[in-house]
Amino acid sequence: MKIIQKTLLLLAILSTTALYSNSFDKALKAININEIKQLTIELSSDKYQGRQTDTDGSRLAAKYIDSVLLSIGYNPVRQNFYSSRIDKNVSNILARIDGKDTNSFVVIGAHYDGLGVVNGEIYHGADDNISGVAAVMTLAKMYKNNGVKPAKTIIFAFWDREEENILGSNYYTSNFYKPERISLYMNFDMVGRANNGDLFPEVSYAWNNNYPYLKTICRKNLHKALPKKNQSLDITYEVRWGDGKGGSDYIAFSKFNIPYIAWMEVNMHPDYHRPTDTSDKISFVKLERVIRLSYYISFNLLCFRP
């Protein structure tokens, strides 16, 4: 009897393990470098005029993001509002995948707006922040294709008006019915440049210091987030202490004390906030590795109940 029970238990463990490694395989197969390239080149091209909030270029970019979301099986919705502060219409784009628990949320986001056209020059904002848009879009595809229902409902967000005022994401969290039900926010802002070359790309991510378990998963137990032990990540990563302040959309979440992880460049590059932040300088090798690593970590945290 005991042997049968043990065997059944072992089988259950084995099948769960198999289910997860199978789901990781399916998720990894959903990463398509050519699609990532296409999206990055398209959205940072002249056609979108630097995507400044409430311009034709920004509306065109939002439509493009909608169409990609539709093509991977989501029904995107818009969160539109008028900001009297800047006298502009702001438009966040949201897509969701229901989890087993529809009352617990994980939000994964990146801003799609840019600086627009300044003195006749287009600020393309390829790294800042179409790289982040590409990361969130790919994660959305991976979660759609991994064959398992996530433990919590995931919302993929493409924020408007991060530049200058961080308005889009602030509006979102301020109007979220119960911010305490968001157990994780993952932010991507500038994750596409390999300043040391493709062989040794580096990325940094900050964790909210109010939540020590985030640090544990991000640093000490990262190997537990990987589907295979000793798997090579092919990326150097630096985990930073996050004080919840700074200049990107994660501050809209940290003000409600929501645990967050913010992915960003280790060092600012000279093209930051210049017209020369163009797609030809993006390392798609690095971008793919950042996406892979953040998938492992987010998948692990989805199953984790603080």
Q: Which is nearer to Zn ion, 189 or 265 (CB)?
A: 189
Q: Which is nearer to Zn ion, 181 or 273 (CB)?
A: 273
Q: Measured between alpha carbons, how far is 51 from 127 in angstroms, rounded to an integer?
A: 13
Least Å from the CB of residue 191 to Zn ion: 10
Contacts with Zn ion, residue ranges (CB under 5 A) = 128-129, 189
Q: Which is nearer to Zn ion, 54 or 265 (CB)?
A: 265
Q: Which is nearer to Zn ion, 143 or 160 (CB)?
A: 160
Q: Which is nearer to Zn ion, 129 or 183 (CB)?
A: 129
3-state SS string for 100-158: CEEEEEEEEEEECCCCEEECCEEECCHHHHHHHHHHHHHHHHHHHHCCCCCCEEEEEEE
Phi–psi pair at 189, nearest 5 degrees: -145, 105
Closest CA to 264 of 243, 281, 246, 279: 246
Least Å from the CB of residue 40 to Zn ion: 14
3-state SS string for 51-66: HCCCCHHHHHHHHHHH
Using the 8-state DSSP alphabet, how is residue 239 labeled? E
- In one-letter notation, the amino acid at residue 295 is Y
Least Å from the CB of residue 273 to Zn ion: 9
Least Å from the CB of residue 129 to Zn ion: 4
Q: Measured between alpha carbons, how far is 52 from 18 in angstroms, rounded to an integer?
A: 46
Least Å from the CB of residue 57 to Zn ion: 16
